[in-house]
Structure 1
């Protein structure tokens, strides 16, 4: 694997935060959290767009590191076994779009699949896994 395990763990944590947030539904509710039942608590606001944060973090990685994440995702969702790392990595190369970060952030359960893949391949866990 070309990607550092700590980098993978940091991305998993950010991707979990991304999965727990949503776009702004009501940009100006005109009330406080108690009055509106804290409905806006998980909405991204200005400068708080986790999708962009995760996407930019992924764009900062080399293509090889991005492909490693795609292979971890494949293993984490049981497309391949951990022992099939080379096959999963080759499949990632074959399936990779020109925009791998977008391909990754569009995956449902991104964080959990990569976390599961990381455990399977390295035995490393992330807090909350």
Structure 2
């Protein structure tokens, strides 16, 4: 089952939600119309954002197994796997381990929503996350 502590998950979800709220929304048409320099500016602004930095640090501080589980949770929350396929989802995340999980996870739009959805599918409520208990 999930070995990442609820405290760590709650912190990551909180930071991801804060960052999503702070990040300026960019719709697909704006993205297509923007010059590459403008996209680079947006990415650079994200890198300097303290909330984004905290999110990346929290993810980077997880061990390899925890990062694999975090990726698996995102995939479950997104609907790529079901909770019954937990073992397969974690195995797939481990197979794809390439050292870029931090950027992948921190750059995932709706990261907090995907994590909360996955946890709810495992029967872990928002209240349990807030209190740090199952």
Using structure 2 for the length normalisation, give the TM-score: 0.70
1:15 correspondence with 2:16: yes
The answer for the alignment partner of 1:54 in structure 2 is 55
Mapping of residues 17-96 of structure 1, within 5 Å: 17-22=18-23, 49-96=50-97
RMSD: 2.1
CA displacement 1:95-122 (0-9 Å, x = unmatched): 233121111011111111011111112x
Higher helix share: 2
Query: 1:107, 1:97 → 2: CA distance?
Result: 16
Moved >3 Å (runs of 4+): none
Unaligned runs of 5+ in 1: 24-43
Q: Whose radius of gyration is greater, 1 or 2? A: 1
- Asked if 2 retains the 8 angstrom alpha-carbon contact of 1:97 and 1:103, the reply is no
Q: TM-score, normalised by structure 1?
A: 0.73
Give the CA deviation at 1:54: 0.2
Instruction: Count residues in correspondence.
Output: 105
C-alpha distance in 2 between matches for 1:125 and 1:91: 26
Q: Deviation digits for residues 59-115 of structure 1, max 9, x if unmatched?
A: 111111111110000100010111110011111112233121111011111111011
Aligned equivalent of 1:98: 99
Q: How far 1:48 sits from its partner (Å)?
A: 5.5
Question: Who is 2:7 aligned against?
Answer: 6
| d(CA) in 2 for partners of 1:19, 1:94 | 28
Unaligned runs of 5+ in 2: 25-44, 128-134
| Higher RCO (C-alpha 8 Å, min separation 6) | 2
